[in-house]
């Protein structure tokens, strides 16, 4: 089944054609980073307008790259939430219109379910010979960690009437900032650029991760919940009123004067050792927390597999630490490649495929939900 996926929940306008949740024929993502960069974060109104400008171009491009016609699409999958409501509605309304014009079935997909399916999709692909199915990797604990989410789920599947059906049990989630949001805010505070995650990832390699002892993040109540706002505040206190703040202001002024792209070398030259150490120690604290709670969740649930997905799953230290921890405990950790870790529509098409096959079609009442919990 050829599924056209559409994703517009935040600041990427994306469309993809995926066959049987297995083979990616095309995966087009139009990033809005340049539109939001100067504000240091996503501006919702701007995001909706950018989606409107790009949605039909992006869908056309996805069809062209897949070398198919719109009529060849057998089902559509669109993100219905969670996300920015104005952004969500652009992709949703577009998907509904196309589905109704073609007379093809449409399903709504939870964005977080999409992130989880990015891992399953890619690892099924890697298993080549078609022997492997999503069930090989399940039950698993999934960590979805991005700019908007930091959540742990127990993912299970069963076969009903010959079709795989997935269930998600929430195990924990952030009580305040998402991990990616903390990366972005710390980068903004230190005038390192936007989005902050990738910049901090690259700069952290030059700092000493043990220089600043942030200590473990303690959680009252559910030990599988997360909290990153305290860590962000701890960074703020280390910066405010010190040489680090003066340095950040100088960097801000320098950035404003730079026309064109800031290279990693240029940026590094603008950072003192103390800044690099702070950044490396911050990243280390976030990564330690994410890996630790995911391992605890796997142990508690008694599963052998961890699925890690979302923009922060691109982080190189996170990948290394998960790989090492999994090896030491004889667990399996699966991560998508970076293009499938960040927001994309292939993951929406993959998650949607199972719903289409199971006949869980949406009707005209399908609409966007800013808040849209996954599982129970
Ligand atoms: O999944 P995504 O594209 O969008 C959301 O659903 O939020 O994730 C974007 C987030 C941003 O906060 C970005 O800073 C973070 O992922 N991110 C990273 C890295 N690459 C992207 N965080 C840490 N290290 C990275 N390499
Ligand atoms: Zn996302």
Domain identity same for 10 and 152: yes
pLDDT at 131: 54
The parent domain of residue 138 ranges over 2-173+337-357
Reading across the β-sheet that carries 305-309, which strands appear in turn?
163-173, 150-160, 140-145, 305-309, 332-334
Ligand 1 site-directed mutation target among 197, 231, 321, 322, most atoms within 8 Å of CB: 197
Mark out the alpha helices in 20-84 (DSSP H runs).
33-37, 44-66
| d(CA 179, ligand 1 centre) in Å | 9
Residue 288 token pair: 């330690």
195 CB under 6 A from ligand 1?
yes
User: Same domain, yes or no, for 194 and 281?
Assistant: yes
Alpha-carbon dihedral 265, 270, 274, 276, rounded to 10 degrees: -30
> Do 185 and 265 fall into the same domain?
yes
Co-location of 163 and 226 in the same domain: no
Same domain, yes or no: 147 and 204? no
Identify which of 219, 134, 171 has the alpha carbon closest to the alpha carbon of residue 373: 171
Nearest-angstrom CA–CA distance, 15 and 8: 9
- Judge if 78 and 9 occupy the same domain: yes
Please enumerate in sequence order all residues whose Cβ is within 8 A of that of 343, keeping only pairs 6 or more positions apart, or say none: 7, 9, 10, 11, 12, 14, 29, 111, 146, 311
Residue 367 inside a domain? The answer is no
Q: How far is the CA of 98 from the centre of ligand 1 (A)?
A: 30
Question: Distance (Å, rounded) from C-alpha 214 to C-alpha 75?
Answer: 49
Residue 169, both tokens: 């049990």
- For residue 336 and ligand 1, the question of a CB distance below 6 A is answered with no
| For ligand 1, atom 14: residue with the closest CA | 197
The helix (run of H) or strand (run of E) holding residue 374 is none
Rounded to two decimals, the pTM is: 0.95
The rounded Å distance from CA 195 to ligand 1 centre is 7
Cα–Cα dist 352/95, whole Å: 13
Pair (10, 158) in one structural domain: yes
Is the residue at 199 inside a domain? Answer: yes
16, 148: one domain: yes
CATH code (residue 37): 3.30.420.40
Residue 118 lies in a domain: yes
CA of 204 to the centre of ligand 2 (A): 23
d(CA 348, CA 112): 9
CA distance 248 to 187: 10
Atom of ligand 1 nearest to the CA of 184: 14
290 and 202 within one domain: yes
Does 320 map to a domain?
A: no
Q: Which of 183, 209, 335, 337 to mutate to test the pocket of ligand 1 (most atoms within 8 A of CB)?
A: 183
Question: Within a domain: residue 316?
Answer: no
Q: What is the longest distance spanned by two Cα atoms in the chain?
A: 65
What is the CA(341)–ligand 2 centre distance, in A? Answer: 8
Instruction: Please choose, from the candidates 173, 123, 124, the residue with its C-alpha nearest in 3D space to the C-alpha of residue 146.
Output: 173
Q: Looking at residue 42, what DSSP letter applies?
A: -
Domain count for the chain, please give it.
Answer: 2
Ligand 1: distance of its center to the CA of 314 in Å? 7
Report which ligand 1 atom has the smallest distance to the Cα of 111.
Answer: 6
The minimum-distance atom of ligand 1 relative to the CA of 202 is 26
Q: Is 314 in the pocket of ligand 1 (CB under 6 A)?
A: yes
User: In angstroms, rounded to a whole number, what is the distance separating the alpha carbons of residues 273 and 86?
Assistant: 42
Check whether residue 88 and residue 35 sit in a common domain: yes
How many angstroms does the Cα of residue 97 sit away from the middle of ligand 1? 31
Contact 5, 22 (CB under 8 A): no
Alpha helix stretches (DSSP H) within 316-362: 316-328, 338-341, 346-357
CA distance 215 to 292: 13
d(C-alpha 208, C-alpha 213), whole Å: 11
C-beta 310 within 6 A of ligand 1: yes
Question: Would you state the pLDDT for residue 307?
Answer: 97
- pLDDT for position 132: 58
Cβ of residue 148 lying under 6 Å from some atom of ligand 1: yes
User: Which of 371, 334, 366, 308 is CA-nearest to residue 125?
Assistant: 334
340 lines ligand 1 (CB under 6 A): no
What pLDDT does 335 receive?
Answer: 95
Digit-by-digit pLDDT tens for the chain (376 residues) are: 999 999 999 999 999 999 999 999 999 999 988 888 888 788 899 999 999 999 999 999 999 999 999 999 999 999 999 999 999 999 999 999 999 999 999 999 999 999 999 999 988 766 545 555 676 789 999 999 999 999 999 999 988 888 888 999 999 999 999 999 999 999 999 999 989 999 999 999 999 999 999 999 999 999 999 999 999 999 999 999 999 999 999 999 999 999 888 899 999 999 999 999 999 999 999 999 999 999 999 999 999 999 999 999 999 999 999 999 999 999 999 999 999 999 999 999 999 999 999 999 999 899 999 999 999 8
């Amino acid at each position: 089944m050829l599924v056209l996926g559409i994703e517009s929940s935040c600041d990427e306008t994306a469309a993809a054609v995926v066959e049987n949740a297995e083979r990616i024929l095309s995966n087009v993502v139009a990033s809005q980073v340049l539109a939001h960069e100067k504000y240091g974060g996503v501006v919702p109104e701007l995001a909706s307008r950018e989606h409107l400008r790009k949605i039909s171009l992006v869908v056309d491009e996805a069809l062209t790259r897949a070398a198919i016609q719109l009529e060849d699409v057998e089902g559509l999958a669109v993100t219905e939430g969670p996300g920015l409501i104005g952004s969500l509605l652009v992709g949703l309304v577009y998907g509904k219109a196309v589905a109704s014009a073609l007379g093809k079935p449409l399903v709504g997909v939870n964005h977080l379910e999409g992130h989880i399916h990015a891992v399953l999709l890619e690892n099924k692909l890697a298993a080549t010979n078609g022997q492997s199915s999503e069930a090989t990797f399940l039950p698993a604990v999934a960590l979805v960690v991005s700019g908007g989410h930091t959540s742990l789920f127990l993912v299970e599947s069963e076969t009903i009437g010959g079709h795989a059906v997935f269930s998600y049990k929430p195990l924990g989630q952030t009580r305040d900032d998402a991990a990616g949001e903390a990366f972005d805010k710390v980068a903004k505070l230190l005038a390192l650029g936007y989005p902050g995650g990738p910049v901090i990832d690259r700069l952290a390699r030059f700092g000493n991760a043990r220089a600043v002892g942030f200590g473990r993040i303690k959680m009252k109540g559910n030990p599988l919940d997360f909290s990153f706002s305290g860590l962000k505040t701890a960074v703020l206190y280390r910066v405010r009123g010190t040489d680090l703040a003066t340095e950040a202001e100088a960097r801000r002024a320098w950035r404003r004067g730079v026309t064109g792209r800031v290279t990693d070398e240029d940026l590094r030259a603008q950072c003192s050792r103390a800044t690099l150490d702070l950044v490396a120690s911050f990243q280390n604290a976030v990564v330690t927390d994410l890996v630790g709670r995911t391992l605890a969740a796997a142990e508690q649930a008694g599963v052998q597999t961890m699925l890690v997905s979302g923009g922060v799953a691109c982080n190189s230290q996170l990948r290394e630490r998960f790989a090492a921890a999994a090896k030491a405990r004889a667990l399996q950790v699966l991560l998508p490649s970076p293009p499938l870790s960040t927001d994309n529509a292939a993951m929406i098409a993959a998650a949607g495929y199972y719903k289409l096959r199971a006949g869980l079609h949406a009707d005209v009442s399908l609409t966007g939900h800013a808040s849209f919990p996954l599982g129970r």
